[in-house]
A and B are shown apart, each in its own frame.
Chain A
Amino acid sequence: MDDYYQSTNNDSDFATDTIDDQVLSDKPRILLMGLQRSGKSSIQRVVFGKMPPNDTLYLESTTKIQKEDITRSFIDFQIWDFPGQVDFFDELAYDPQDIFGTVGALIFVIDAQDDYNDALHRLFTTVTSAYAVNPSITFEVLIHKVDGLSDDYKIDTQRDVQQRMGDALADAQMEYIHLTYYLTSIYDNSIYEAFSKIIQKLIRELPTLENLLNVLCSNSGIDKAYLFDTLTKIYIATDSSPVDMQSYELCSDMIDVCIDVECIYGPNDLSLAQTPDHIGGDALDGQQTPISLDNHENQLHPDSDSLERRLIDHQNQEQNTHSSDSEASSLIKLDNGDVLYMREVNRLLVLICLLRQDNFEKHGLIDYNFQCFKEAVTEVFEFSRKRNTQQ
């Protein structure tokens, strides 16, 4: 199902998709490093490959550097998954300049359930040598597999790792190297949140996006708004109020629901069309009026939160002047009086808002504000694209 979804927006006409193949190798890189069996490939598969976490048990160990381009997602990066058993600084076969020259972020994975002395040692050498090559790398340390640890133990582990790394760097007089630590597990949303934060650091437009979301939130009475990358369920921006896990989980579940419904009831011509030109040309011209899929209500099973959700998913074919791509939206009313409202910004991004039901009465206003927001976001990316090509 997911594959189908990906293939439909494989080559859509969104602005950020225009990174050419020739500059592909210059894309910002995200390096995944760490000792063997610490869970690097699992993370990569779960977050970017949509693999169910339980299936990662059967992953073979990685033997060579696996480079993967994340093209179908908004996150336009190259992920390098390193085999853990090879030490890249001992062996002359690897040119550190080559590896770390254009890196955006270096993610080092530590298995928290195991003895991490070796891992810390490796982390130290990796960080110092990478920093020597490229000081602009951001270093992210994932203290991984914490699902088996108690809350107290988690924070103790983090404190211990942090302290020991801090001491080691201080001893080497390299306190200026900054590491960020995350406690993660692939069995819950912590890995997505960590990746969201890592990715956000690499997005230059983040302050602008955040401000736009702030404006949208305060003007529409929205409690919390997330701008999601549809494929990976990573949020690339949110408003400045604190992120709470509950709302994040709800939103990420909502994306799943909507993708599934879209696969079943979405317009067929999308899958039949060979190129996006077809969509823009033939298919949509034949559908001047909203298609009949409007407002079919599905009674979903009450989920574990015992929130009975009413799902109204309707596809709007909007003929606006800028682009003629179809725009999905969906609305879920929760039992506790909150409303989850999802609008598609473009093929790769969706906006999900969480708001009180009484604020949702001004539906028209929210829709209008959303249109403004959408235009602004498109403009922002248009601008940065121009700037990129000029450089």
Chain B
Amino acid sequence: MESNYAKRERMSGAINALSLSPEGNSVVVAGREILKILSINKTEITETLNLRAGSHFNLNYSSNDVKWGNNATKQKVATAATNGAIILWDLNKIGRKAERVITEHTRAVNRICFQPDNGNILLSASQDGTMKCWDFRDPKNGARYRFEGKSESVRDVQFNPVSMYEFAAAFETGTIQKWDMRNPKALYDRKVSAHNGPCLTVDWHPNGKLVASGGRDKTIKVWDMTADSRRPLYTIRTMASVSRIQWRPGFENEIASCALLTDSRIHIWDIRRPHIAKYTFDEHDTTPTGFMWRNSSELLSVSKDKWFIRQNIAGAYRPFDLLKRNGMGWNVQGDIVFSIDKSSRNLFVDENLITKPINGSPKNWKRLGTKTASEEDVIQYVPPQTCGIVHMPLFDFEAFSVFADNYIISSENVAVACDINGELAWKMGRYRTAQTWKIIAMFYSDEPVEADVEESIQESFSFDMDRSTTDDDDEEDDRSSFKVHEEILEDISQSSEGDIDSLNTGTSSHVHTMTSSFNLRLPWKHESVVMELLNYYTEQGDVQMCVTLYLVLEKYLNIDNERIEDWFTAYIDLLHRFKLWSTATAIIKACKVQNVRERNENATTINIACNTCFKLVNGTSSGSWACDKCHKLLNSCTICHQTVRGLYVWCQGCNHGGHLSHMKDWFADEQQCATGCGHACVLQPLLSSLPLDEE
């Protein structure tokens, strides 16, 4: 299928440049080893003339660029060599075709350009930073004009197609300059710093007003050369450094570009829709070195892979068609955002949908980026699309953050912690969670005593006996509550399955028989229930509950580290996402697992901000006590105006303070603040009570 649209011709060497004859039926290709004229007709490409035939190797012939003349020189071709020579070839001459050799440039000539409509004028751009203009009617060899850009190497020059005394030049420093040949002053008309890094190519728009430029910074920018604006009208970001560009004839918004490296495709962009190429040709094996529009639908290109390819726009693929036309995303709060392209599939840019900006009211005009509005008629196409946000009630982030902030995670007093947590859950409407906390509270109420007993039972009986005798009075009081516990225990042991559990109850009953004096103090084995609970919450994905439960019941639970680590890391990640940094830190600190604790130990940066301007204070050895931005000392003492580097004492009333010793000295005699703010400081009694006497 492709062969219908693309015609290929293999050359004998790498090709650097090509140029089309004014009639459009022949093309000249040039490289280091070749300089050939090819004629193109509807169906085939034939080689008609080899200009290098018979000529022995000469550095002058190693061409960087080639251009076909026009009008008076329509049978002539000019080439520019890497050694600085420019050669004019006469195709009609018999024998040696080289008509004239100009060697005035000391360094390589990067680009040459004939003046439109006057083929006798040739402009050259050289690596030596100059542009020279030659008139072939002048029999002498010297340059007629010499333009010095006062910049580095000139990469490209091109005459304005409308006002033909003007030309634009691209420089290695990233600037583009506009010159007028008639200007006697040896200075450019206009200079734009266009690119970051070298600017490699320029091309005038057929209307003679706009110039497009391409550079190593992977952008194509369009400039209005008549306006005074310092910003580009359009910016197209491409995937690789841009080595050549050309406006598509007949389509005033479209521009073709090829890359310097890595990307071997030729893209055709629409400046109104800069984020995606309209067409892409993918025919070459290596990056094209030159291309040219033959007409509005045919593109000729050459490359170092020795291929000359003639391709039709109908054979190009449209990257636009390959793209998904909708998208969606989640956020941590459980919202889903989606957007659906509503533009028509057939039109790349729908003319009807482009609204021209009305001068002075750029509000209804959407432009990408935060660029300031210029006076130009910048037309940019924004494809119509529908978007929306859906809230999925999968995750109650409000409750989550309230819990994160307020849950008690200490296991010092389980009953109290459970009570508070349960109440909190109740308040937040999480009744199930509240119930859980209540049950846990019931399990572990009066824990301290019971825990002691439990441990002591397992340790030794004799100790228990001693204890039971000493604690007898208390036990009497507690007896009633123990009864309740007993009932619950029975329930649990009935309902719980598993060998370990029954074994446990077995041992406890054994203990029971042994120590008759506190038969009611059976060790509570509700671990299994709690484990089930934790499993349940893990299943539910409620790591918050898992971690909090674990932390509260830390003393009673024995869970393997891996599992704990999973919970903690998940919970901490979640906290980080909600920016609950202090809770996250508290959780990390509370965790016993080394891997989790290490998260805080790896790298913790403490930044100090200036207390007046909030700029970060750089922590160098000498500079950390003063702010760079507002040139103030931080926390200076009101007495000696030096930074306080230790204890800072200040009055809660007027916020003035300073060194402890200075404050002490001051308030020994005075009542009011040392700054003279008139505040009767409450510091005085405080200082006198402090036991920090130096004497």
| Chain A residues near B (Cβ < 8 Å) | 151-152, 154-155, 158-159, 162-163, 175, 178, 180-181, 183, 197, 207, 210-211, 214-215, 218, 221, 239-240, 242-247, 356
Chain A residues with CB under 8 A of B128: 207
A211-B155 contact in complex given A162-B193, A181-B193, A244-B216, C-beta closer than 8 Å: no
Chain B residues with CB under 8 A of A245: 197, 216
Is the CB of B631 closer than 8 A to any CB of chain A? Answer: no
Chain A residues with CB under 8 A of B62: 214, 218
Q: In the complex, A214→B230 CA distance in Å?
A: 36
Is the CB of B200 closer than 8 A to any CB of chain A? Answer: yes
List the 8 closest A-B pairs by CB distance, nearest first.
A240-B108, A214-B82, A218-B32, A178-B150, A240-B127, A207-B106, A207-B107, A218-B62
Whether A197 pairs with B193 at a CB distance below 8 angstroms is no
Whether A218 pairs with B82 at a CB distance below 8 angstroms is yes
Other A-B pairs beyond A151-B196, A210-B107, 9, CB < 8 Å: A151-B217, A155-B195, A155-B196, A155-B217, A158-B196, A162-B193, A181-B193, A211-B82, A215-B82
Q: What's the minimum C-beta distance from B528 to chain A, rounded to whole angstroms?
A: 51
Interface residue SS majority, chain A: helix
Instruction: List CB contacts (< 8 Å) of B230-248 with chain A.
Output: 230, 241, 243
Count of A-B residue pairs with CB < 8 Å? 73
Chain B residues with CB under 8 A of A207: 106-107, 128
Chain A residues with CB under 8 A of B19: none
Whether A214 pairs with B217 at a CB distance below 8 angstroms is no
Most buried by B among A178, A183, A240: A240
Whether B187 pairs with A214 at a CB distance below 8 angstroms is no
Instruction: List CB contacts (< 8 Å) of B190-214 with chain A.
Output: 193, 195-198, 200
Chain A residues with CB under 8 A of B110: 240
User: What are 9 pairs between A and B in contact, CB < 8 Å?
Assistant: A154-B196, A158-B193, A215-B59, A215-B82, A242-B172, A242-B216, A243-B216, A244-B216, A246-B261
Most buried by B among A155, A163, A183: A155
Q: Report the contact-size class of chain B (Cβ under 8 Å from the partner).
A: 35 or more
Q: What's the minimum C-beta distance from A232 to chain B, rounded to whole angstroms?
A: 20
Is the CB of B260 closer than 8 A to any CB of chain A? Answer: yes
A211-B108 contact in complex given A197-B152, A240-B127, C-beta closer than 8 Å: yes
Q: What's the minimum C-beta distance from B326 to chain A, rounded to whole angstroms?
A: 28
Q: What's the minimum C-beta distance from B150 to chain A, rounded to whole angstroms?
A: 5
Is the CB of B83 closer than 8 A to any CB of chain A? Answer: yes
Q: In the complex, A356→B59 CA distance in Å?
A: 22
Q: What's the minimum C-beta distance from A214 to chain B, rounded to whole angstroms?
A: 4
Q: In the complex, A60→B172 CA distance in Å?
A: 36
Chain A residues with CB under 8 A of B493: none
Whether B108 pairs with A214 at a CB distance below 8 angstroms is yes
Which single residue of chain B is at the shortest CB-CB distance from A146? B196
Q: What's the minimum C-beta distance from A143 to chain B, rounded to whole angstroms?
A: 10
Chain A residues with CB under 8 A of B544: none
Q: In the complex, A154→B193 CA distance in Å?
A: 11
A244-B83 contact in complex given A155-B195, A158-B196, C-beta closer than 8 Å: no
Instruction: List CB contacts (< 8 Å) of B79-113 with chain A.
Output: 82-84, 106-108, 110
Q: In the complex, A218→B62 CA distance in Å?
A: 8
A240-B193 contact in complex given A197-B152, A207-B128, C-beta closer than 8 Å: no
Chain B residues with CB under 8 A of A211: 82-84, 107-108
Per-position 1/0 for B21-47, Cβ under 8 A of A: 000000000001000000000000000
